[in-house]
Amino acid sequence: MRSLLSCLAILTSFALAFPSRRESPHQVKERVFSPRDWEIHSVAPSTHRIELKIGLPQPNFDILEKHLYEHLSKAEVEALVAPHPESLELVNDWLASHGFGEEDIVRSPAQDWATIVVPVRLAEKMLDTEYHVWTHATSGESIVRTTSYSLPIHLHDHIEVVQPTTIFARLKSFKSTIHSLDKQTGQIVAQTNTPVVSASGISVDPSCNTTITVTCLKELYNASSVVPSATINNSFAVTGYLEQFANFQDLQSFYALEVPEAVNTSFNVVSVVKTTSLLAEAGDEADLDTQFGFGLTFPINGTFFTTAGSPPFIPDIGTPTDTNEPYITWLDFILAQDDIPLVISTSYGDDEQTVPESYAKRACAGFAQLGARGVSLTSSSGDGGVGDGDSDPTTQTCFTNDGTNRTEFLSAFPTACPFITSVGGTTNVPEVAVFFSGGGFSNYFARPSYQDAAVKAFLEKLPKGTYKGLFNPNGRAFPDVSAQANNFLVVISGEQELIGGTSASSPTFAAFVALLNDARLKAGLPSLGFLNPLLYSTAVSGFNDITEGNNPGCGTEGFNATVGWDPVTGLGTPDFGKLAEIVTSPSRA
């Protein structure tokens, strides 16, 4: 790494000629069209306070990408994403000219983000814009945003993004269904007592066709005999947003039902944004993630990150705070930690087009920093098939948000970030694609080289002209892999429920990655870290190819699951036994 840092010193010595620091006129930095389903309610109150996050350029990010697989230290990663000193100086001068001292600025460890809390009237002056209260037509929620902002011309090369300004993402958990068990029987009864056979060739209890448990998943994915260690510094985590909290009593009830050896054990709770909640309320998403994530990985050390956020802005009563998109908040926190869980799953996201491209790319760069530090990240691929999941998948219109109102398949964020492993969904035994499995192609991120061959093979098989103009064939394709995503038996507020959605498949796949790390750590090898290049190369043979099903949306039947990679189930579902052999072989040291 010494040579890498030396190269950085040489690169930064060749600074460009920077513009004068004198006051320069404002010029539009970013503009978006009026977002679909959002309407202006009123002018934003001038005293309303906004937490502005200012992203400075990362001039050596391309070098970080080349070292993604080396398990760099926190200091090494920070050196690779640090802004140029000239950018820091110019931005500091600008903030000082508006009355901000160093004590008013919260900086990320690499100093690539600067955060200030500012009233609307000052934000409008700094950004030469006007904020409004916007209300969503369907949900009724309100936020304070603008559709454009400007910066002094001399700062355009030194500030990549300022938010919250133009971001209208609503952030939702990817769970498509939830319903109670039959109260008379207390359980779902299988229609037959004949064992069913999984793609791994293993007999699975027939009840797994109607109710998914921890035992079902271990049987399905060839990991029934796996006994992970609690003493080799392995770790696993899930994230929670939107006031979702995991309930400890529900976990104990779940353990008594499905993982009796784990009864009276728990997990760590880390509050990213401080909250007054005692984590006593049961959130269905949080309960699902923690119960199956920690149930599958017990006794590996588990952590639940809660990024509670602020309550929505309520214009009628002048609530003084409003929600911000939480990914940068979470990234700021997690990247500042010396020790990070080796596998982290998230089950939240939104339509890609509701997130400004500049913001999406900066958040994605943050996920890459985690990968460089040896962390494996998974994300749900979404529950709308090729659409947005907000209506009947066969009737969704799926309009673009760029002013042209074209019909187009809708990509999702953050799952389309190429530094995340996107997880789609399956159902039944033998497995087929579940109809809501999100999949498609990004309009923001180009197709990464690691999936070139697999995606090109799919596109070549696609009948010529199919869905022409409805998707970007050159974009990053997702999902990468898949796992069961329907009828997961959970305990919520003391009641047994069934949940479906890729909210279930992401923590499931992530849990098996944690088990693979257990095998590697026992063999004296490092954690897997950024997964995708491995998945599309050596590890392909460790997946059960799913070849039936499709993911309808936008008034179409969507894509079909087929032989090889497809934008419904990716490479398929994991065969733990085969994958463990692959990742512990000498060639993967």
pLDDT at 317 over 70: no
pLDDT at 589 over 80: no
Q: Minimal CA–CA distance to 167: which of 352, 319, 316, 28?
A: 352
Q: Is 438 in the same domain as 383?
A: yes
In whole angstroms, what is the distance from residue 188 CA to residue 412 CA? 33
Mark whether 465 and 412 lie in a shared domain. Answer: yes
Does residue 221 surpass a pLDDT of 60?
Answer: yes
Cis peptide before 393 (omega within 30 of 0): no
Q: What is the pLDDT of residue 275?
A: 52
* Boundary-marking domain end, from 115, 148, 167: 167
- Is residue 349 situated within a structural domain? yes
Which pLDDT score is estimated for 476? 98
Within 104-202, strands assigned E span 106-107, 113-119, 132-136, 142-145, 148-152, 161-163, 172-173, 177-180, 196-197
pLDDT at 21: 53
Alpha helices by DSSP H, listed for 423-542, are: 452-461, 502-522, 532-535
Q: What percent of the chain has pLDDT over 70?
A: 85
Confidence at residue 402, expressed as pLDDT on a 0 to 100 scale? 82
Classify 568 as helix, strand or coil: coil
pLDDT tens per residue, range 74-108: 999 999 999 999 999 999 999 999 999 999 999 99
Asked whether the beta carbons of 241 and 309 are under 8 A apart, the reply is: yes
- For residues 585 and 44, what is the distance between their CA atoms, to the nearest angstrom? 59
Q: Which residue has the higher pLDDT, 334 or 329?
A: 334
Check residue 14 and give its pLDDT: 42
Residues annotated within the binding site are: 545-546, 564, 566
Whether residues 363 and 505 share a domain: the answer is: yes
- Please report, for the domain that includes residue 229, its CATH number: 3.40.50.200
pLDDT for 303 beyond 70: yes
430-472 pLDDT, tens digit each: 999 999 999 999 999 999 999 999 999 999 999 998 999 999 9
Residues 77, 205 share a domain:
no
Q: Is the pLDDT of residue 223 over 90?
A: yes
Residue 354 has pLDDT above 90, yes or no: no
Give the separation between CA 174 and CA 512, rounded to whole angstroms.
20
The per-residue pLDDT for 16 is: 40
Structural domain total, the chain: 2
Mean pLDDT of the region 352-375: 94
Cβ-in-10-Å burial (0-12, 13-18, 19+) of 269 comes to middle
Query: Would 100 be classed as within a structural domain?
Result: yes
**Whether residues 481 and 351 fall in one domain:** yes
pLDDT at 388 over 50: yes
Which of residues 167, 186, 221 is at a domain's end?
167
The answer to whether the beta carbons of residues 423 and 379 sit under 8 Å apart is yes
What average pLDDT does the segment 240-254 reach?
Answer: 86
Tell me whether residue 259 is in a domain: no
Say if residue 86 is in the same domain as residue 161: yes
* 395: confidence class by pLDDT, cuts 50, 70, 90: low
DSSP-derived secondary structure letter, 212: B
| Active site annotation includes 503 | yes
**Segment 42-84, tens digit of pLDDT:** 999 999 989 999 999 999 999 999 989 889 999 999 999 999 9
Whether residue 472 lies inside any domain: the answer is: yes
* Res 567 pLDDT > 80: yes
Report the pLDDT value the prediction gives residue 278, as an integer from 0 to 100.
Answer: 44
Distances 249 to 254, 261, 266, 282 between C-alpha atoms, Å = 9, 16, 10, 9
Q: Which among 176, 207, 253, 503 is annotated as catalytic?
A: 503
8 pLDDT more than 70: no
Do residues 370 and 415 share a domain? yes
Burial track 75-95 (b if 16+ CB lie within 10 A, e otherwise): ebbbbbbbbbebbbebbeebb
**0.85 exceeded by pTM:** yes
Tell me whether residue 289 is one of the annotated catalytic residues: yes
Going by their DSSP bridges, the two strands 38-43 and 106-107 should be labelled as unpaired
Q: Is residue 311 part of a domain?
A: no
Task: State the pLDDT confidence band at 22, using cuts at 50, 70 and 90.
Answer: low
30 is catalytic: no
pLDDT at 403: 80
Q: How far is CA 271 from its chain centroid?
A: 18
Q: How far apart, in whole angstroms, are the C-alpha atoms of residue 390 and residue 399?
A: 13
Query: What integer pLDDT is reported at residue 202 of this predicted model?
Result: 78
Q: Closest Cα partner for 266 from 306, 224, 295?
A: 295
Both 225 and 85 in one domain: the answer is: no
pLDDT score of 232 more than 80: yes
Task: Confirm if 250 and 295 have CB atoms less than 8 A apart.
Answer: no
pLDDT value of residue 184: 33
The DSSP result for 540-564, as a single string, is GGGEE---S-B--BTTB--PBP-SS
The whole-number pLDDT of residue 315 equals 64
The residue annotated as part of the active site, out of 124, 284, 285, 352, is: 285
* Domain of residue 91, residue span: 21-167
13 falls within a domain: no
Residue 520: predicted pLDDT? 97
Band the pLDDT of 3: cuts 50, 70, 90: low
Residue 175 within any structural domain of the chain: no
H helix intervals, 373-501: 452-461
Based on the fold, state whether residues 516 and 436 are members of the same structural domain. Answer: yes
Query: Is 240 a domain residue?
Result: no
Q: Which amino acid is at 103?
A: E
Question: What pLDDT, in 10s, does the model give residues 466-497?
Answer: 999 999 999 999 999 999 999 999 999 999 99
CB neighbours of residue 400 within 10 Å: 15
pLDDT of amino acid 283: 81
Largest CA distance in the chain: 79
CA 449 to chain CA mean position, Å: 21
Q: How far is CA 70 from CA 180, 490, 531, in A?
A: 46, 38, 12
- Give yes or no: residues 350 and 487 share one domain: yes
- Which residues, 6 or more positions from 14, have their beta carbon under 8 angstroms from its beta carbon? none
* Separation of alpha carbons 189 and 182, rounded Å: 9
258 Ramachandran zone, left/alpha/beta (phi>0; psi -120 to 50): alpha
Contact of 433 with 424, CB cutoff 8 Å = yes
Model confidence at 356: pLDDT above 60: yes
**pLDDT at 277 (0 to 100):** 47
The two structure tokens encoding residue 186: 């207390």
**Average pLDDT score over the chain:** 88
pLDDT above 70: residue 11:
no
Using omega within 30 degrees of 0 as the cis cutoff, is the peptide bond preceding 414 cis? Answer: yes
Average pLDDT of the segment spanning 118-131: 97
pLDDT at residue 284 in the model: 87
113, 229: one domain: no
- Band the pLDDT of 169: cuts 50, 70, 90: confident
Exposure of 80 in the CB half-sphere (CA atoms within 13 A): 25
The average pLDDT across 199-212 equals: 86
- What pLDDT does 187 receive? 40
| Binding-site residue set for Ca(2+) | 545-546, 564, 566
Look at residue 265 and give its three-state secondary structure: coil
Q: What is the mean pLDDT of residues 262-279?
A: 77
Residues 465 and 555 in one domain: yes
Q: Does 430 sit behind a cis peptide bond, omega within 30 degrees of 0 on the bond before it?
A: yes
Choice among 112, 289, 408, 431 that is catalytic: 289
CA–CA separation, 377 and 363 (whole Å): 13
What pLDDT is attached to residue 314? Answer: 62
